[in-house]
Amino acid sequence: MKHTIKKLSIWLLTAVLLVTALAALSLQASAADAASTPIYIGSVQLSDGDYLATDADTPTETKPASGSYAFYNGGTLTLHDFTLTGDTGIGSDDPLTVVLEGKNVINVTNDDGLENDYGLTIKGSGSLTITTMEYDGIEVDDGDLIIESGTITITVLQTDPNFPADGIDITDGDIYINGGTLTIVATDHGIESDNSIEDDEHFFGVYINGGTVDITAKDEGIDAEDSLEIKGGTVIVRDADIGLDCGGNVLIEGGTIDITSQDDGIEASDALTVNGGSIKITSEYNAIESYWDMTINGGSITANAAVDGLACYGTLTVNGGSLQIIAEDCAAWGLEIVLSPEVEPAFGKIVEEIAGDGTVWYYAADKNGNPLTEVDSDVEVKLTNDTLNNTLWLPVLMKLYNTSLPITASTTEGGEISGEGTKMVKYGRNYTYTITPDEGYAIADVLVNGKSVGAVSEYTFTKVRRAQVIEVIFAPDPEAVPETPVEEPADDIADPMYSYEDIA
């Protein structure tokens, strides 16, 4: 029995040792699986723990004595005074963090400078200068680009006009700029965010929270697919076609923005909201344009536009902030304008005037209503008051465009109204209807939007600002003299049985 127990004990101990060994092997295999995917620097592959010296063809496990190297470990690539020159740049197929130490250079002629799948973060106290030839400076697919710190300079060169390239191009991911200094000179977009999924669940954009972004681009300075938010930092766009272009909503809550553009300064396909920050725009077209609603709650906007200052295809709401706008056409316009009392000029007031074509102009006036500038004048007028925080430069403050509004006219039996049916009337214009009863009928009542205005023969809608309905009710006229029928005399009927001679 004792021998049996001893054998069982030995067997159990062996089993435990075997399981422990297998577990250790499994952990080693898991650790091996968890090791970072190798990356490529030029044509050289680096695995965890590898160093690559500048101009070297093979990696080493020890730090190069030159002190100029790239070191890769655990998904982090440290560039220390490293220079890469050649056909291809740096590529990674897994999330990658790049740490910048000292001065680093990537100069490639046939590839993106820094290419990554599934996410790229750049940080550090050093710098990185990327120069490419007709390829993107930084490209990320299926992941986010996060710039935390460091000084990054990207220059995209071009010899063939058919192959422009972006400074930064992100597909199916967000761009976060939280710090550092980013300078881009590009032949296409400075920064571009693309969405190849295009469904109702995936939205990608550009989010700037800090740092300095300085862009010179031939196309858009920043082109955000779904969303653009600026909450801090400094954004400078020079000589772009469109300064900031977004296929969705634009939100500006802070920071300093300075744009020079050949077309719109800022363009939003959806809503645009400004809650804070300082915006300065010099534009060859509209300074800020929104194809949906535009809301200004705060911040400072200084614009000099060749066409319009604020162009809004929805409701333009101004609740606060400082507006300094010079525009050759008008300072601002919208399909509807909502002005908070807090945005009155520093002195005087805003006057509303309806032009002959039905458009509504808002312009600055003194307290007695006398215009401080002619409606169509290009003369700059600056209104300031040191005790207030608002300033307005006004050739024209605001112009309200609106689509024509419908007035629907109908009648009951017994007469007619001029323009019966639906008539489209320009916003702010007057329109007069004439009502005529048929003979024997009278106008019993006229209803305007369901309310009686009496038995009037004429009605004028003044300064039309919304859809209207007019209905005329006719009734037989009780005072009308009925016609008396006139009887025709009966013809003599000759009796065929008698003749004239018989009667005689």
Written as one string, the DSSP assignment of 50-119 is EEEETT-SS-BSS--TTS-EEEEETTEEEEES-EEEES--EEESS-EEEEEESEEEEEESSS-SEEEES-
Q: Give the whole-angstrom CA distance, residue 400 versus residue 54.
A: 63
At 202, give phi and psi (nearest 5°): -115, 120
pLDDT of amino acid 326: 75
- pLDDT tier at 16, thresholds 50, 70, 90: very low
**Which tens digit of pLDDT belongs to each residue from 417-438?**
998 999 988 766 789 999 999 9
Whether residues 340 and 429 share a domain: the answer is: no
Residue linked to tokens 């999924």: 197
**Which tens digit of pLDDT belongs to each residue from 455-494?**
999 999 987 767 789 999 999 988 876 665 556 555 554 4
Its domain, for residue 431, covers 405-476
Helix (H) or strand (E) holding 391: none
Give the residue from 400, 423, 439 where a domain finishes: 400
Average pLDDT on 395-404 reads 46
pLDDT of amino acid 482: 62
- pLDDT tier at 320, thresholds 50, 70, 90: confident
Give the residue from 400, 427, 450 where a domain finishes: 400
Whether residues 209 and 259 share a domain: the answer is: yes
Q: Which of 203-207, 213-217, 364-368, 414-418 has the lowest mean pLDDT?
A: 364-368
The answer to whether position 371 is within a domain reads yes
Whether residues 311 and 426 share a domain: the answer is: no
Cβ contacts of 205 within 8 Å, gap of 6 or more: 174, 175, 193, 224, 225, 226, 227, 228, 229, 246, 248
**pLDDT over 50 (residue 380):** no
Whether residues 319 and 448 share a domain: the answer is: no
pTM assigned to the model: 0.69
Closest alpha carbon to 106 in 47, 126, 64: 126
DSSP string, 430-471: -EEEEEEEPTTEEEEEEEETTEE--S-SEEEE-S--S-EEEE
**Which tens digit of pLDDT belongs to each residue from 121-176?**
999 999 999 999 989 999 999 999 999 999 999 999 988 888 889 999 999 999 99
The answer to whether position 67 is within a domain reads yes
